[in-house]
Amino acid sequence: METHELKNIIQKPAEKSANHVQAQPRISLCALCVSAISALKEVSTKISRTITAPLLGPLSIIIIAGLLPLSAKASKATPQTASFSATPEVRAFILSMHEQHGFDVTHLTRQFSSIHANAIVLRAIRPAAVPEQQRSWQRYRERFVNERRTRNGVRFWQDHAAELARAEAIYGVPPEIIAAIIGVETEYGRNMGKFSVLEALATLAFDYPPRADFFRSELEQFLLLARENGVNPLDIKGSYAGAIGIPQFMPSSQRRYAVDFDGDNRIDLRQSTADAIGSVARFLHLHGWQAEAPVALPASIEGDPAKLIAAGIKPQTPLHELLQQGVSALGETGQFGARPAALIDLTSPDQPTEYWVGFDNFYVIMRYNRSSFYAMSVFQLATALRAAQGSVTN
CB of 6 or CB of 269, closer to Ca ion: 269
* Contact stretch for Ca ion (CB under 5 A) within 23-31, 141-149, 269-277, 298-306: 269-277
302 is catalytic: no
CA distances from 288 to 51, 172, 292, 297, 366 (A): 43, 10, 13, 19, 11
Give which of 107, 124, 186, 114 is closest to 153, Cα–Cα: 186
Which one among 260, 312, 314, 353 touches Ca ion, defined by CB under 5 A? 260
Furthest C-alpha separation in the chain = 66
* Contact stretch for Ca ion (CB under 5 A) within 123-131, 146-154, 257-265, 377-385: 257-265
Q: To the nearest whole angstrom, how small is the minimum distance from the Cβ of residue 225 to Ca ion?
A: 14
Q: Tell me which amino acid residue 372 is.
A: S
Is residue 262 close enough to count as binding Ca ion by CB under 5 A? yes
Pairing of strands 237-238, 317-318: unpaired
* Contact stretch for Ca ion (CB under 5 A) within 119-127, 267-275, 337-345, 376-384: 267-275
CA distances from 291 to 67, 171, 172 (A): 40, 8, 5
User: Crossing angle for the helix pair 147-159 and 175-186, nearest 10 degrees?
Assistant: 120
CB of 22 or CB of 265, closer to Ca ion: 265
* Alpha carbon distance 271, 288 (integer Å): 27
Q: To the nearest whole angstrom, how small is the minimum distance from the Cβ of residue 264 to Ca ion?
A: 4
Annotated catalytic residue within 15, 185, 187, 220:
185
* Alpha carbon distance 182, 30 (integer Å): 10
Is residue 228 close enough to count as binding Ca ion by CB under 5 A? no
* Alpha carbon distance 6, 26 (integer Å): 6
Q: To the nearest whole angstrom, how small is the minimum distance from the Cβ of residue 56 to Ca ion?
A: 37
Give which of 390, 376, 375, 386 is closest to 29, Cα–Cα: 375
* Alpha carbon distance 20, 128 (integer Å): 13
Number of Cβ within a 10 Å radius of residue 216: 18
Is residue 264 close enough to count as binding Ca ion by CB under 5 A? yes
* Alpha carbon distance 378, 110 (integer Å): 41
CB of 15 or CB of 262, closer to Ca ion: 262
CB of 207 or CB of 262, closer to Ca ion: 262
Q: To the nearest whole angstrom, how small is the minimum distance from the Cβ of residue 268 to Ca ion?
A: 5
Which one among 176, 275, 345, 360 touches Ca ion, defined by CB under 5 A? 275
CB of 115 or CB of 276, closer to Ca ion: 276
The residue whose Cβ lies closest to Ca ion is: 260
* Contact stretch for Ca ion (CB under 5 A) within 82-90, 253-261, 370-378, 380-388: 253-261
Report how far Cα 70 is from the mean position of its chain's Cα atoms: 23
* Contact stretch for Ca ion (CB under 5 A) within 63-71, 190-198, 210-218, 254-262: 254-262
Q: To the nearest whole angstrom, how small is the minimum distance from the Cβ of residue 259 to Ca ion?
A: 8
Is residue 166 close enough to count as binding Ca ion by CB under 5 A? no
* Alpha carbon distance 122, 105 (integer Å): 27
CB of 9 or CB of 276, closer to Ca ion: 276
The footprint of Ca ion (CB under 5 A) covers 260, 262, 264, 272, 275
Report, as residue numbers or ranges, the catalytic residues. 185
